[in-house]
């Protein structure tokens, strides 16, 4: 056993330090990014905010609406072949990813969908524990089979595993274990890593190899999204902030919509016939306020992000991390308790 005694930070632990700026208006800030991915060599251009592949968030309707605003969607893993076939005419090739698990049935589903929908460029390989050897093997298998597709893989929270996944074929690594609003992994297992520090460390590791990362989880307001980009994230993935909208497809009752984690009992009842005897639920179900069309929320997020850039003197999202200085606003526990 050992203890890592360095300070590790979450979004709540820091604020941006404002700096002189030549920008006259938020409207001057460019939020678009262009990336060339390491393995696929594909070019992405858009606003690098992603809808998570969660029920009520990563839906076809959400993808269609977000694409119109140049945002990205990782579609839920539960869509069957019939649903994909029905949606085929609306599928864009630059702002949507097919999501998959790593089982044999997942592999077969992925192959069939990609055979019929050759325009799809992005594959999101998504598991709760990206440290399993089986996961790395699956990433390598997909890379070998689909050399021209951009592979998103996760989740991990450490630099070494970020590098491992990139070396095994991932173009983009999802970073985050336990920070989500409906994720209970930290409480249920005691496993996790403060999200801001995870982003900083994993971004540094990925960029050194020519890879990219997604900050996945923990954002509860536009300021958190800005902090994730300031810490070095290439993309920011949102679940709870994009839940509760018309495009999510949930039922509205008394002004509320149910939202749940994909490892929750609700999700496992819906997709797997219940919680298996050998495991426990690592997510929860909550009721959130109905929010109407997602466009309003997106405008609020993008407005906050532009405002951050004006405060720190960044003319574009690309420059934000270079203009970022964080100030800590919390103390270490040993200082708080006087030890």
Query: Annotated active-site positions, please?
Result: 183, 185
d(CA 154, CA 299): 28
d(CA 254, CA 269): 24
Q: Give the number of other Cβ atoms within 10 Å of residue 89's Cβ.
A: 6
* Centroid of chain to Cα 224: 13
Closest by CA to 67, choosing from 31, 40, 92, is 92
d(CA 79, CA 299): 28
For 218, the 3-state DSSP assignment is coil
Which residues, 6 or more positions from 18, have their beta carbon under 8 angstroms from its beta carbon? 311, 312
Pairing type for strands 172-175 and 212-216 reads parallel
Burial letters for 32-61: b for 16+ Cβ neighbours within 10 Å, e otherwise? ebebebbbbebebebbbbbbbbbbbbbbbb
First-last CA distance in the chain: 23
Q: At residue 60, what are phi and psi to the nearest 5 degrees?
A: -60, -45
Which residues, 6 or more positions from 64, have their beta carbon under 8 angstroms from its beta carbon? 90, 247
Burial class (CB in 10 A: 0-12, 13-18, 19+), 142: buried
């Amino acid at each position: 056993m050992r203890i890592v005694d360095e300070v590790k930070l979450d979004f709540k632990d820091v604020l941006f330090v404002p700096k002189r700026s030549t920008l006259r208006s938020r409207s001057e800030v460019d939020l678009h990014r262009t990336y060339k991915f390491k393995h696929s060599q594909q070019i992405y251009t858009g606003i690098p905010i992603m809808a998570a592949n969660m029920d009520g968030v990563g839906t076809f309707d959400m993808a269609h609406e977000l694409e119109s605003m140049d945002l990205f969607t990782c579609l839920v893993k539960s869509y069957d072949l019939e649903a994909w076939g029905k949606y085929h005419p609306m599928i864009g090739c630059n702002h949507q990813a097919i999501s998959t698990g790593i089982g044999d049935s997942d592999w077969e589903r992925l192959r069939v969908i990609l055979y019929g929908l050759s325009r799809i460029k992005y594959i999101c390989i998504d598991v709760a524990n990206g440290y399993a050897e089986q996961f790395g093997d699956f990433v390598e298998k997909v890379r070998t089979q689909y050399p021209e597709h951009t592979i998103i893989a996760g989740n991990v929270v450490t630099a070494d595993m970020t590098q491992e996944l990139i070396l095994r074929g991932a173009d983009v690594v999802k970073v985050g274990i336990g920070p989500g609003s409906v994720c209970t992994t930290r409480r249920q297992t005691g496993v996790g890593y403060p999200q801001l520090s995870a982003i900083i460390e994993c971004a540094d590791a990925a960029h050194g190899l020519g890879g990219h990362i997604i900050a996945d989880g923990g954002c509860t307001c536009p300021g958190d999204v800005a902090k994730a980009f300031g810490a070095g994230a290439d993309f920011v993935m949102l679940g709870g902030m994009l839940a509760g909208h018309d495009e999510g497809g949930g039922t509205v009752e008394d002004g509320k919509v149910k939202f749940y984690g994909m490892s929750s009992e609700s999700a496992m009842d819906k997709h797997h016939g219940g919680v298996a005897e050998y495991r426990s639920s690592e997510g929860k179900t909550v009721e959130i306020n109905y929010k109407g069309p997602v466009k309003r929320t997106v405008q609020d997020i993008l407005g906050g992000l532009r405002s951050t850039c004006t405060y720190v003197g960044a003319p574009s999202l690309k420059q934000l991390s270079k203009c970022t200085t964080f100030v800590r606003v919390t103390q270490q526990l040993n200082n708080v308790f006087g030890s």
